[in-house]
Copies of this chain bind each other. A is one copy, B any other.
Amino acid sequence: MKRLNWGLIGGGEGSQIGLAHRIGAELDGKFQLAAGALDIDPERSRDFGTRLGIDSERAYGSWQEMLSGELARRDRVDLLTVATPSATHFEITKAFLENGFHVLCEKPITMNPQEARQIVELAKRQNRICAVNYGYSGYPLVRQMRAAVKQGDLGKIRVVHAEFAGGFFADAADADNPRVRWRFDREQAGVSAVIADAGIHALHMACFVTGQEVRTLSADLATCVEGRGLEDDALIAFRMTAGTVGRLWTSGLAIGRAHGLTLQVFGEKGGFRWEQEHPNQLYWTPLGQPTQILERGAAGLSVEAERASRVTVGHAEGMPLAFANIYRDLGDVIQAEKAGQTPDPLATEYPTAEDGYQSIATVFAAVESAQQGSKWVEV
């Protein structure tokens, strides 16, 4: 089957997230990198694009150039990924959606809920895909949890506990490190640092797995390292649409936790525990019975988990394959659209602009609550 044309904005040389997107997009052979505006510097942008194998006329110097260049082509990109700094997501995503492109935007979709709402409505009006890269939702065992919750294996969900705590902002000496500094600068980072960067993934996971949204919350934000303008640790209590009680802790000060994204879901009939650092095992405890270790790739998992699983049980799969699952879903849906067919419903689980809106609205609500002494506010 012919590969779809894929375009990438941002993700220049040395960018980790750019590499992860390229691996994710290419891994299944569904997409080929056909066009790119990879760097804020036009020359570096064109040079790196060419070195990645993009035809020179499609190795653009800027996203504006890329937009007009692609619009002029019949083989224009089938999907456009936005992996630029957060503050530019809105503008770029909006411009491409308005011109009829499918977009996958890095999180956060925008810097505030108002813009996110515009994107949601624009995508609906244009009937274009606007996906948001909550990449952890591509993990097979995350999809297993979602499927099990959906089919009632846990009964009513009582409590969801989400955590994203790492030591990424723990070094006070990083005050001069540009990769850290901008996070705590309100000008560049907006209203939140660690929630907007890390906690937002945990929030999305809580929603994705329970199939609910955050309705109300009470938050406490703390800034422990001197000189920072935004929070480096936060705790949020929340309630979800179907009544589930939520608990979220996120921190950048948790020295020793490399990438501590963890989800626990507790229903009437059983509980789940999943840790991103060991994504190939899911701990499932039916009420009153021993805990079981569900292995990715093992027999007996849901079709959703099986679909997202590539290699045999006992081998590890990691983050690049989770990303690849998002891309494969998008590829399937886009190919179906091009063929005038209905896409496989299993391919439509990728996070959307609506999820992006919910998340950023929750971040804003958390900031508002914290400012008012942890008062409960609506999202």
Instruction: Give the interface of A toward B (CB within 8 A).
Output: 1-3, 16, 19-20, 22-23, 26-29, 33, 51-53, 158-159, 161, 165-167, 170-172, 218, 220, 222, 224-225, 233, 235, 237, 245, 247, 249, 251, 253-260, 264, 266-268, 270-273, 276-280, 283-288, 290-295, 298-300, 310-321, 373-376
Of the candidates B288, B314, B318, which one forms a contact with A321 in the assembled complex, judged by CB atoms under 8 Å apart? Answer: B318
Task: Determine whether the beta carbon of A27 is less than 8 Å from that of B27.
Answer: yes
With contact pairs A224-B158, A318-B280, A374-B375 given, residues A298 and B258 touching in the complex (Cβ less than 8 Å): yes
Total copies of the chain: 4
Greatest chain B CB density within 10 A among A26, A218, A316 is at A316
Task: Determine whether the beta carbon of A254 is less than 8 Å from that of B266.
Answer: yes
A295 to chain B, nearest CB (A): 5
Task: Determine whether the beta carbon of B270 is less than 8 Å from that of A255.
Answer: yes
Task: Determine whether the beta carbon of A3 is less than 8 Å from that of B53.
Answer: yes
With contact pairs A255-B270, A266-B254, A299-B288 given, residues A316 and B314 touching in the complex (Cβ less than 8 Å): no
23 examples of A-B residue contacts, CB within 8 angstroms: A1-B53, A2-B53, A3-B53, A20-B310, A161-B165, A161-B254, A166-B314, A170-B287, A172-B268, A218-B218, A235-B235, A235-B237, A257-B273, A278-B278, A278-B316, A288-B299, A290-B294, A290-B298, A291-B292, A316-B319, A317-B319, A318-B321, A374-B376
A165 to chain B, nearest CB (A): 8
Greatest chain B CB density within 10 A among A225, A270, A277, A291 is at A291
When distances are taken between beta carbons in the complex, the residues of chain B under 8 Å from A312 are 16, 259
Q: How far is A259 from B374 in the complex, measured between Cα atoms in Å? A: 29
Task: Determine whether the beta carbon of A277 is less than 8 Å from that of B224.
Answer: no
Q: How far is A222 from B222 in the complex, measured between Cα atoms in Å? A: 23
With contact pairs A233-B159, A245-B233, A280-B277 given, residues A259 and B51 touching in the complex (Cβ less than 8 Å): no
